[in-house]
Amino acid sequence: MYGCIFAGAVVVLAKTSLTERELHYQVKDADVVHILTDQTFVQKVSNVHAVAPFKGLFVMGDAEGFVSASKFSHWKESEFQEILVPDPERTLMALAYTSGTTGLPKAVEITQFNYVASFYTYAPFSTATEADVALLWNPITHASGLWTIFTVLIGA
């Protein structure tokens, strides 16, 4: 996920428990053009792709009709190009959707700036070190999981 962000993408955090209908709603609402999934959810993504076509289908692992993102790890870091963020305060990093308990789920915008600012806010209170092992049970597709990863990133 962070590789996509560093490449300049806006990530839409979609829970794996979403039904095809719910995934289709988020895909259309967020105007998704590429999708990254794992092998377990290839069929669900393929079914959504049939009614809301993506430009690119990516999978962690291998699946017919999908580009294997697992193979990206073989690329040389020296060949990467830095993507500059011209206006971090307004540049989206991710969209996280609300649960939709009071209606349709709504997209919550997370900018590059507010995500990085959260590191600076949280860092003085972190007690994590490089020697620590963290068990993060919150899914990264939920805002709590996205921010819980601070524990690891700040202590590393």
Mind listing the pLDDT tens digit for each residue in 31-84? 999 999 999 999 999 999 999 999 999 999 999 999 999 988 888 888 888 888
Report the Cα 64 to chain-centroid distance in Å.
Answer: 22
State the pTM of this model.
0.83
- pLDDT surpassing 80 at residue 136: no
Q: For the chain, what percent of residues have pLDDT higher than 70? A: 96
Q: For the chain, what percent of residues have pLDDT higher than 90? A: 47
Helix (H, G, I), strand (E, B) or coil at 93: strand
d(CA 94, CA 5): 8
Domain boundaries, the chain: 2-111
| CATH match of 2-111 with 1.10.1050.10 | no
Residue spans of beta strands (DSSP E) within the chain = 11-13, 34-38, 56-60, 67-68, 92-97, 107-111
Q: How many CB atoms sit inside 10 A of residue 132's CB? A: 12
